[in-house]
Chain A
Amino acid sequence: MADLRRPGLGHACIAVLRRDLTLAWRQRGDMVLPVLYALIVTSLFPFALGPEDALLRRIAAGVVLVTVLLAMLLALDAMFRSDIEDGSLEQLMLAPQPLALMLGMKILAHWVATAVPLIVIAPLLAGMLHLPAPVMPVLLLALLLATPLLSLLGGILVALTAGTRRSGMLLALMLLPLCVPVVIFAAGALAAAQEGLPWAAPIAWLGAALALAVVLAPLACAAALRIALDS
């Protein structure tokens, strides 16, 4: 009889994280694309609206937020795509590990590979639009809470489209209603910070939503994947 020792959860989580991050690093050209996209979109705004400081300062936070969101949407499609095509996802689903946790690790790896570079570049984007320096920490905090939330919500939707061929526009359509509250609270915090008002409440809402999503989204993602691949 074959020995049926199963690897510990920690081992499996590290294995998934390590593989996905190695893959992301080997294809780091793909990681640069969303960053470039965000840079281009942000630099288009002054051209479209005119280079007045006051106007740019007013819209800076919102523009950076929406740009980061769109850049993440661009990369979202690839979250499970290659895993479905080469059969790795089947292997993951058949592994003696909780699928939700493994998918959570994949989402985490995807967040590290796509959102973290965007967060790193965000101060530069905000600087291009003259966002006041005191608001910068709030922007980073809002992005640190909002981007994982988007990755988690996006993960569920990507899982739902796993059985379809083209899903780029479909994902955008599906994600929009889900990301409205995220954008509202993140932008709300930034607007409050810019006007010198207390901004803790919307940030707290975002944090609460993130805490909920961290627990629930991987479970929903696993359920969605089982439904979407059941054919």
Chain B
Amino acid sequence: MAHWIPLWLHKLSSPPVFYGFAGKLRPWAIALALVLGLVALYGGLVLAPPDYQQGDDYRIIFIHVPCAWMSLFIYGVMGIAAFIALVWRIKLAEVVAMASAPIGASFTFITLVTGSLWGERMWGTWWTWDARLTSELVLLFLYLGVIALYHSFEDRRQGARTAAFLALIGIVNVPIVHFSVNWWNTLHQGSTIRLLGPSSISPSMIWPLLTMMIATKLYYIASLFGRARVDLLSLESGKDWVRQIAENEVRR
């Protein structure tokens, strides 16, 4: 173990400690995510004024944009966890990386669906090979590749490490894809409508967006902790601390 890793982080990476910590934090994260999400939806769908061009159609951004941010953010988290898992072979990092993948894929999928719905209203088509949408689609495939590779191994830890390597390749790939798709788009003079003009956004639209962003982050934390706890239990099923939890459950 490297010496510069803070002691508390090192302690937290031990499965039983993380299991307890995540179990305590998870309900709070869920509750806060729900409250903030509802507040943001109210702010976005009711309080914010309609757009002078798009009318009420633009309101889908209060879902679309936070999800798009999350799709990239989670890929980043997965990449960092994957790197830690490969370099220091920490079990928790493997679990976090692999538990993040399906959540990230879901956010990417929601981004694509909401983008497509919005596109139908704005451009009159369900799908357009817009640079951002295309990059997002490639991102979805990256997520799916990681998930599929993870599940194709019988040994779960080995699957996790292998998929972690793929996630790292993806981290290198995402900017290249984005650059190439942008280039491709200008080459074919596609309709690059700027969905969010920098000037057209008013503060009454910004605060619901930011609130929703925090809500999605909290939801991610809650979901990640839930998945990680289950994975840790099944990975460590032979260990004493898991046996103790099982015994406590039975006694209850």
Contact = CB atoms under 8 A, between A and B. Distances in A.
Interface residues of A, number: 29
B162 A188 contact: no
B184 A164 contact: no
B158 A224 contact: no
B177 to A, nearest CB: 5
B78 interface: no
Interface stretch (A63-71, A77-85, A97-105, A178-186): A178-186
Nearest to A162: B162
Contacts of A160: 149, 162, 165-166
Nearest to B188: A191
A184 B149 contact: no
A188 B182 CA distance: 12
Contacts of B183: 184-185, 188
Interface string B134-163: 000011011011001100110100100110
A194 B120 CA distance: 33
Contact of B177 (A173, A174, A181, A231): A181
Nearest to A181: B180
A223 B169 CA distance: 12
Contact of B149 (A174, A188, A230): A174
Interface in A8-28: none
A167 B149 CA distance: 9
Nearest to A169: B148
Given A180-B138, A191-B187, A174 B166 contact: yes
Contacts of A223: 165
A177 interface: yes
A76 B66 CA distance: 38
A164 B142 contact: no
B98 to A, nearest CB: 14
B104 interface: no
A163 interface: yes
B176 interface: yes
A177 B140 CA distance: 9
A114 to B, nearest CB: 22
B79 interface: no
Interface string B109-125: 00000000000000000
Interface of A: 156-157, 160-161, 163-167, 170, 173-174, 176-178, 180-181, 184-185, 188, 191-192, 220, 223-224, 227-228, 230-231
13 contacts: A160-B162, A163-B153, A163-B162, A165-B152, A174-B148, A176-B145, A177-B139, A180-B181, A181-B173, A181-B176, A185-B180, A185-B183, A227-B158
Q: Closest 9 interchain pairs by CB?
A: A181-B180, A174-B145, A164-B152, A184-B180, A231-B158, A184-B184, A177-B141, A177-B142, A177-B138
Given A157-B166, A161-B152, A178-B173, 20 more contacts: A156-B169, A160-B165, A161-B149, A164-B152, A164-B153, A166-B152, A170-B148, A174-B145, A177-B138, A177-B145, A177-B177, A180-B138, A181-B177, A181-B180, A184-B181, A185-B180, A185-B183, A191-B187, A227-B161, A227-B165
Interface of B: 86, 138-139, 141-142, 144-145, 148-149, 152-153, 155, 158, 161-162, 165-166, 169-170, 173, 176-177, 179-181, 183-184, 187
